[in-house]
Amino acid sequence: MPSYKAPVEDVLFLLRDVLHIERMGNLPGFADMTPDFIEAVIGAAATFCEKVLQPLNQVGDRDGCRRGADGTVTTPVGFKDAYRQYTAGGWVAIAGDPAYGGQGLPFILATIVNEFSASANMAFSMFPGLSQGALATLLSHGDEKLKATYAPKLMSGEWAATMNLTEPHCGTDLGLLKTRASPRDDGSYAITGQKIFISGGEHDLTENIIHLVLARIDGAPAGTKGISLFLVPKVMAGADGTLGMRNALSCGSIEHKMGIHGSPTCVMNYDGATGWLIGEANKGLAAMFLMMNEARLGVAIQGLALSEVAYQNAVAYAKERRQGRALTGAKEPDAAADPIIVHPDVRRTLLAIRAFNEAARALILWTALKGDIAHRSEDPAARQKAEDHLGLLTPVLKGVLTDLGFEGTVKAQQVFGGHGYVSEWGMEQFVRDARIAMIYEGANGIQALDLVGRKLPRDGGRALTAFLTEVQTFIRENADEADMKAYTGPLQQALEHLQQATLWFMQNAMTKPDHAGAGSYDYMHLFGLVGLGFMWAQIAKAALASCAEEGRAAAMQAKLTTGRFFMERMLPETAVHLARISAGAESVMALPADLF
């Protein structure tokens, strides 16, 4: 049975030594972020995730969610009690607006908690994750009455939420959606249509579920310009939160799927259900994208989270399992065989996962901090810069961290040999659970298109320029340090690849957009590698600065070694991505569809 220990030490190292969170004291709400306070919050989250959520992960996978003939959905044994404890701890709204009952803590703390809970039990963590996303949308776009009625209940976790975008014939292309919203005299709308792939569409954890539903108001324009966003509760609620009648919506079925069995994926039928407009009519997509962006970051975290827990278990197995001898002679001659962690190929496998995990965590926390700046800073220039960063990095994080996180789980499973394929050991569940993160909230190919087609050109490339400049400045400022050369050298090379790829798009893709489409996926991964490499360079700098401190030498040396592994063996992949991008669209587009 797999185990999990939240990486508290690593998080504290990143916050303190890499992100220097103590320098953020002038950001509203950050003055209280003392090391002790942060440690207390993170420690409590770690304990809860390790002791309560993780033990339910395998049983949740095995038993799954069950839909009764009456349309009710039962979550796995133990989920209800764990959810009660989770909400009692105030974890749902850790970063929520205190005006509605949230704890008002920085987004970066919520991000840390989300990593821990997704590692411990990804399927479970989706329930509060959806509430967080819905709250962001509701508070930004909803009117006061909607906010007052629904936000406190979502913050407390008494009610849960969903996002309803996909329909049987449309997922990526929401312009095709058919769900209708007919205005009623009382200002509400009658919502009619079918939505699919609705995570948490029906369950027994909460007494009410608040559905955010995209639909088309009667007479609205076709395509994406005629889509509005509605709040549709499962049970009608008074302004004071008292529950009334069931609304005209139901869960028609739940999907049998590859993983995340503890999270019900529902077909939702709306049969003239009562809903209220959130934000402006026909501007629903923009409002939903706020939720999507938050959700995309949450999905990126899932990629890291599963890679992390898979790594931990692979390491434990590699230290325990004995097969063969070290190539340089027996390490433990008195035992029948050496532990397999002596074998270079096992170490290579483990280090590849770890070198990803630690940089991915840094990239996520760095971006989460930008989220706090974007929301909290009183300096408009700082806010704009942080918004630029978020917009640019969100598709990269979602696409790259879920791809590489999935690969991490596959690699970790491989360390177990045949036992990795057997359900009992839990490794194959990590692979199955991690796989969805590459698909939902916009399949990774869509993230790549978002990055190349929208985020790069936006505002004359301002966000990209700022990012490239920041990396280049760091390299320049540290290039003279002898101990940093092993990091800044490869990073410089990778940065140049990213610059060349960008230039190639500018020169070739403006007139032939297929060149952008054919290279977008590689560009996203090239960008992601530069981002991860930038994190490793900063981690190395912090490790060099701290390795003389008492008791830290070993841990800091581990950082420096893992970072070198990344620079030598993973970052050079940027060259292949650049080669693919520069190859252009010709061989990709040449084949007529009927010859595939």
Nearer to a copy of itself, 419 or 462 (CB): 419
Q: Binding to a copy of itself (CB under 8 A): which residues in 360-399?
A: none
Q: Can you tell me the distance from the alpha carbon of 62 to that of 315, in angstroms, rounded to the nearest whole number? A: 24
Give every CB contact of residue 369 below 8 A, 6+ residues apart in sequence. 19, 21, 24, 106, 108
* Residues contacting a copy of itself: total by CB under 8 A: 99
Q: How far is the CB of 558 from a copy of itself (least distance, A)?
A: 4
Q: Is 221 in the site for a copy of itself (CB under 8 A)?
A: no
C-beta neighbour count of 243 within 10 angstroms: 14
Nearer to a copy of itself, 440 or 467 (CB): 440
Exactly one of 12, 44, 148, 170 binds a copy of itself (CB under 8 A); that residue is 170
Residue 290 token pair:
């706020």
Q: How far is the CB of 533 from a copy of itself (least distance, A)?
A: 14
Q: Binding to a copy of itself (CB under 8 A): which residues in 174-213?
A: 175-176, 196-197
Q: Is 214 in the site for a copy of itself (CB under 8 A)?
A: no
Looking at 441, 496, 573, 586, which residue is catalytic? 441
Nearer to a copy of itself, 141 or 497 (CB): 497
Q: Can you tell me the distance from the alpha carbon of 444 to that of 522, in angstroms, rounded to the nearest whole number? A: 11
Listed residue (505, 570, 584) closest to 533, CA to CA? 570
Q: Is 474 in the site for a copy of itself (CB under 8 A)?
A: no
Binding string, residues 504-543; x marks residues near a copy of itself by CB under 8 A: --------xxx-xxx-xx----------------------
DSSP 268: E
Stretch that binds a copy of itself, among 14-22, 95-103, 232-240, 257-265 (CB under 8 A): 257-265
Q: How far is the CB of 236 from a copy of itself (least distance, A)?
A: 30
Give every CB contact of residue 160 below 8 A, 6+ residues apart in sequence. 127, 130, 131, 154, 200, 203, 205, 206, 208, 209, 210
C-beta neighbour count of 338 within 10 angstroms: 19
Q: Is 245 in the site for a copy of itself (CB under 8 A)?
A: no
What residue has token string 């009690």? 81
Exactly one of 114, 228, 413, 492 binds a copy of itself (CB under 8 A); that residue is 413
Task: Specify the length of the chain in residues.
Answer: 596
Q: Is 544 in the site for a copy of itself (CB under 8 A)?
A: no
441 is a catalytic site residue: yes
Nearer to a copy of itself, 80 or 321 (CB): 321
Q: In 3-state terms, what secondary structure has residue 544?
A: helix
Give the Å distances, CA to CA, from 240 to 134, 153, 572. 20, 10, 58
Q: What phi and psi values does residue 210 have, to the nearest 5 degrees? A: -100, 110
Exactly one of 245, 328, 548, 550 binds a copy of itself (CB under 8 A); that residue is 328
Nearer to a copy of itself, 173 or 477 (CB): 173
Residues 524-548: b if buried by 16+ CB within 10 A, e if exposed: bbbbbbbbbbbbbbbbbbbbbebbe
Q: Can you tell me the distance from the alpha carbon of 12 to that of 43, in angstroms, rounded to the nearest whole number? A: 10
Q: Is 408 in the site for a copy of itself (CB under 8 A)?
A: no
Q: Is 69 in the site for a copy of itself (CB under 8 A)?
A: no
Letter for the amino acid at 90? G
Q: Binding to a copy of itself (CB under 8 A): which residues in 290-319?
A: 315, 318-319
Q: Is 587 in the site for a copy of itself (CB under 8 A)?
A: yes
Listed residue (96, 85, 86) closest to 128, CA to CA? 86
Q: How far is the CB of 375 from a copy of itself (least distance, A)?
A: 31
Contact 177, 251 (CB under 8 A): no
Exactly one of 40, 258, 479, 506 binds a copy of itself (CB under 8 A); that residue is 258
Q: Can you tell me the distance from the alpha carbon of 233 to that of 212, in angstroms, rounded to the nearest whole number? A: 8
Q: How far is the CB of 359 from a copy of itself (least distance, A)?
A: 15
Exactly one of 225, 348, 454, 476 binds a copy of itself (CB under 8 A); that residue is 348
Q: How far is the CB of 55 from a copy of itself (least distance, A)?
A: 19
Exactly one of 308, 372, 428, 450 binds a copy of itself (CB under 8 A); that residue is 428
Contact 595, 519 (CB under 8 A): no
Q: How far is the CB of 401 from a copy of itself (least distance, A)?
A: 16
Q: Is 255 in the site for a copy of itself (CB under 8 A)?
A: yes
Residue 380 token pair:
């408009």
Q: Can you tell me the distance from the alpha carbon of 363 to that of 528, in angstroms, rounded to the nearest whole number? A: 9
Binding string, residues 120-159; x marks residues near a copy of itself by CB under 8 A: ----------------------------------------
Q: DSSP labels for 380-411?
A: HHHHHHHHHHHHHHHHHIIIIIHHHHHHHHHH
Nearer to a copy of itself, 93 or 318 (CB): 318
Q: How far is the CB of 414 from a copy of itself (least distance, A)?
A: 6
Listed residue (81, 551, 145, 573) closest to 356, CA to CA? 573
Q: Binding to a copy of itself (CB under 8 A): which residues in 1-40?
A: none
Nearer to a copy of itself, 180 or 322 (CB): 322
Catalytic residues: 441
